[in-house]
Structure 1
Amino acid sequence: MTTFKRNAAVLVAGMTPADQSCKQTWQPSGPVPAAATDDHPFPYLLHRTIPTIYLGALGAILLVTLLSVRLAGVRIRSTFRYVDMFLLGAAFLLLETKNVIGFALYFGTTWLVNALVFFGVLLSVLAAVEVRRRLRRVNMLVLQLMLFGSLAVAFLVPPQAVLSLPTVGRLAAAIALAFAPIFCANLIFSDRLAQAADPTSAFGANLLGALTGGALEYLALMTGYQALLLVVAALYLGACIAMRYAGRGPGGQTTRMPDETVSVKT
C-alpha cells in the first residue's frame, strides 16, 4: 500500500504474494470485507446486507411510482386482478438488469455495451410481439417450458465458461443466454395483454411490477448477481400460477382471430 496526503491510498493486489512489491503492507485494524468477486463485486460492504439508506430510497421511489400511476388515471384497486402482469413486469426488469451486469462482465462497463444490451432487449421484445401476432394458436405450457428452460441454462452456465471463449463465441453465447428468456417471456406477455379485459389497468400493474423488479436488483448485495436468476424464475412461476387463477391454465391454447380471441382449455 502506498500512502498519500489526505488519507488517500493505492491498493495493489496480485495472484501471488510475489507479484506484489510495496514498501508497506496494510494491516487491518478491525473486520475486513470479503474479497470482491465477479458475482459479488462490492468491496465496500462489510456484511452481505442492504444498507438502511438504500431501503429508504427504494421505498420512496416505489411510493412515487405508485402515486404517478394513480395520477395517470389507473385505479390501483383495479390492478389487483392483474397480479400476473405485475409479476411479469417485475421479472422482466430484474432480468434486464441482470443482463446489463452480465454484458459488463463479458465486454466491459462502457456506454456502448449498455446501449447494445438495451437495443438487444428492445429487439427481443419486438421480435416476440411480431411472432405472437403471426401465430393463430399458442400453447401456454410450451411457452412456459421454453422460458424456464432458457432461465435454467442461463443459471447453470458459469460466467467463466463464457469469458473463456473468443470474442465472437463470447458474443454469441452472451446473446443467447441473455435474450432467449426475454423473447420467451414476451411471447407470454403479449398473449396475456391481448386477453386483458382492462388493458389500462393491466399495463399499470405491469409498470408497477417493473419498478418493483428494478428495486429487487439490490438483492444482489446479499445474494450475488447469478442468484438473481432464481428470483426471476420465482417471479415468473408466480405469474404462471396467477394466470391459471385468472382463467389461463398452463395447458391452455388460445385461438386468435382477426376481431376476437377465444380461449380453449385442453
Structure 2
Amino acid sequence: MTLEARTPVDDGEKAHWLAVRPRLILASAFMLFLELALIRWTGSNIVHLSYFTNFVLLGSFLGIGLGFLRVGRSRRQPYYSPVVLAILVVVVLTFPVTVDRNTEGVLYWTSLSTSGPPAWLILPVIFCAAALVLMGPAELVGRCFPELPRLEAYRYDLVGSLTGIAAFTALSFLSAPPVFWGLIAAICYALLLVPRPRALYVGLVTVPSLAVVGLLLAETLTAGAIWSPYYKVTFRQLQQLGVAVTDIAVNGIPHQQAVPAAARLQWERQYGLPYERTTKPPKDVLIVGAGSGTDVAIALSKGAARVDAVEIDPKLRELGGSVHPDRPYDDPRVTTHITDGRAFLERTGAKYDLILFALPDSLTLVSGASSLRLESYLFTEEAMQAAREHLKPGGAFSMYNYYRESWLVDRLAATMQSAFGHKPCVDVVSTAGQQAVITAGLSEADQRCGGAAWAGAAPGTPD
C-alpha cells in the first residue's frame, strides 16, 4: 500500500483558494456539525424524530457514503447541498409535526395524536433530504483525500470531525438558537464551494444559504420559544379552571405546567401523597426534576425549611423562575442545582428528610445509538440506594409518575424494596396511565402506608 499523495481530482476548475489541509479540516468539521444540527433541529420540529433520532443519522450516513462515491465521478461542485438544505428547512417549518394539544388523557408515544403530515410521508422526505444535504460536505472531504498521503489525510479528517462535534456541543451548551447553526452552515458553504461560474454560485449557494439563515432567524425570534441544550421549548399562558397557568412543551410535546401549588394539590392528589406517607413533616427536601417549579412550590407550602431543586435543563429552570405564579425559585429557602439527579446524589454530602423524584421525564435519549433516556439511570437500584444514603433518620424517599403499565409499578416498587430492605407504600392514584406514587421510609417505621400497603409484585413481573 502506498502512502504517497495522488493526483488531485480534476473538477474542471482552478485549484481551490484554500490549501488542502485546512480545507480538509474545515470540510470534515462542517460535515459532522451539519449532521448533528440536522438531527437536533428536525427532532425539535418533527415529533417522531424526538424519539427516533437514528432516522436522520442513518440518512446522514447514506449521504456521506454517496458523497465519497461521487469523488472522481463528477467535475461539478456539489451546489445541490445548500439548495436541498433550504428546501428541507422550508418543508419542516411549513409542515411541522407536533402533538395535538387537544388529545385527551395521558400521552404516550404509541397513542400520540399529531398535527401535520403523516409519518409515512414526512419521514421519507426528511431521510432523503438529509442524505442529499450530507452528500455535499462528504464530497468536499473526499476530494481532499487524493491530494495528501493517506494517513495524513485520515489524521486531518479526524481533527476536523472532532472540531465539528466540539463546536456543536459548545453551541448546545450555550443554548444557542438554530440561527447560529444556519449561519455557520452558510459560512462553510461560502468557504468551501468554488464560486465558478459566479451566477450559478449566487443562485445555488448564496441565495439558498441566506434563505436558511433568514428562516432560522424567524424561528429563533418566534414569541414563546426558547432553545435549551436539549430542546426547543415553547410556552403559552392560559386559564385552566379559572387559574392562570403556563403550559410548557418541548420539541412539540406537552411536557409540564407551571401551576400554583394550591391548585396542583387540588387537581392531582399524587403531588401531596409523599408528604402524607412520611411520619413527620419534612424540613429538608431534595427534588430531582424540579422543572418549572411546581414541585418546589408544593414543598414550600408543606413547610420545608430548605429545598435543593435539581434540574438538568437550565432553560426550564430559567423559565420557571420567570413565569411560575408562586415564584418558588425566588424563595431564599430554595437552592437550584443545574445538573443530573444521580450525579448530584453522588457529589453532595447533604442529608434530607424527603428525597423526591418528581416526574423526571427528559424525552431525550442518552445518545442516538441508545434507547436509554437521560432519566433512565434514576430508576435503578443503585440510584435508590444512593438516595437512601442521603436520608436523615426518619427520612423517606418518594417518586411519582405516569407509569402506564401495572407491571412497571410493581417492578419499581420491587427495586425500591431491594434498595431499602422493606416494602414501600404504593399509591395507584389512577389506573388510567397507572398514575402512581411509590414511597419508602429509611426504615419501615418511617413510612405511613395506611391503605397504600403494597402486596408485592404480581406474578410475571420482570426482574
TM-score, length of structure 1 as denominator length: 0.51
Aligned partner of 2:55 in structure 1 is 116
> Whose helix fraction is larger, Structure 1's or Structure 2's?
1
Aligned with residue 75 of structure 2, among 124, 138, 154: 138
> Whose strand fraction is larger, Structure 1's or Structure 2's?
2
The correspondence of residues 91-102 of structure 1 with structure 2, limited to 5 A, is 91-102=30-41
Distance change in 2, residues 1:171/1:158 (3 Å) = closer
Q: Whole-Å Cα distance in 2 between the matches of residues 132 and 162 of structure 1?
A: 35
Aligned with residue 118 of structure 2, among 166, 172, 184: 166
Query: Does structure 1 residue 212 correspond to structure 2 residue 151?
Result: no
Unaligned stretches of 5+ residues in structure 1: 1-79, 242-248, 252-266
The correspondence of residues 223-234 of structure 1 with structure 2, limited to 5 A, is 223-225=176-178, 227-234=180-187
Distance change in 2, residues 1:189/1:115 (3 Å) = same
Cα shift at 1:151: 2.8
Of 86-95 and 203-212, deviating more is 203-212
Aligned partner of 1:151 in structure 2 is 85
Q: Whole-Å Cα distance in 2 between the matches of residues 102 and 190 of structure 1?
A: 26
Distance change in 2, residues 1:228/1:184 (3 Å) = same
Q: Secondary structure at the match of 2:53?
A: helix
Q: Whole-Å Cα distance in 1 between the matches of residues 153 and 117 of structure 2?
A: 42
Q: CA RMSD in A?
A: 2.7
Distance change in 2, residues 1:223/1:181 (3 Å) = same
Q: Secondary structure at the match of 1:138?
A: coil
The correspondence of residues 38-53 of structure 1 with structure 2, limited to 5 A, is none
Task: Letter of the 2:65 partner, please give it.
Answer: L
Task: Letter of the 2:36 partner, please give it.
Answer: T
Contact kept in structure 1, 2:63 and 2:130, CA below 8 Å: no
Task: Letter of the 1:204 partner, please give it.
Answer: R
Q: Whole-Å Cα distance in 2 between the matches of residues 103 and 122 of structure 1?
A: 16
Contact kept in structure 2, 1:132 and 1:187, CA below 8 Å: yes
Contact kept in structure 1, 2:81 and 2:133, CA below 8 Å: yes
Distance change in 2, residues 1:182/1:231 (3 Å) = same
Q: Whole-Å Cα distance in 1 between the matches of residues 188 and 83 of structure 2?
A: 15
Contact kept in structure 2, 1:90 and 1:210, CA below 8 Å: yes
Query: Does structure 1 residue 90 correspond to structure 2 residue 29?
Result: yes
Distance change in 2, residues 1:184/1:88 (3 Å) = same
Task: Letter of the 1:150 partner, please give it.
Answer: V
Contact kept in structure 1, 2:31 and 2:161, CA below 8 Å: yes
Distance change in 2, residues 1:188/1:108 (3 Å) = closer
Aligned partner of 1:71 in structure 2 is none
Aligned partner of 1:104 in structure 2 is 43
Task: Letter of the 2:23 partner, please give it.
Answer: D
Aligned partner of 2:65 in structure 1 is 126
Q: Whole-Å Cα distance in 2 between the matches of residues 88 and 151 of structure 1?
A: 16
Q: Secondary structure at the match of 1:174?
A: helix
Q: Deviations over 1:102-126 (max 9, x none)?
A: 343321433xx23333322222222
Q: Whole-Å Cα distance in 1 between the matches of residues 24 and 144 of structure 2?
A: 8
Aligned with residue 184 of structure 1, among 136, 148, 153: 136
Cα shift at 1:89: 1.1
Cα shift at 1:231: 0.8
Q: Whole-Å Cα distance in 2 between the matches of residues 119 and 156 of structure 1?
A: 22
Contact kept in structure 1, 2:61 and 2:131, CA below 8 Å: no
Q: Deviations over 1:189-213 (max 9, x none)?
A: 222323x133322322221121111
Instruction: Return structure 1 stretches of 4+ with deviation > 6 angstroms.
Output: none
Aligned partner of 1:26 in structure 2 is none
Contact kept in structure 1, 2:25 and 2:161, CA below 8 Å: yes
* % identity of equivalent residues: 17
Contact kept in structure 2, 1:83 and 1:239, CA below 8 Å: no
Distance change in 2, residues 1:180/1:81 (3 Å) = closer
Contact kept in structure 1, 2:30 and 2:185, CA below 8 Å: yes
Contact kept in structure 1, 2:64 and 2:131, CA below 8 Å: no
Alignment coverage as a number of residue pairs: 157
Cα shift at 1:91: 0.8
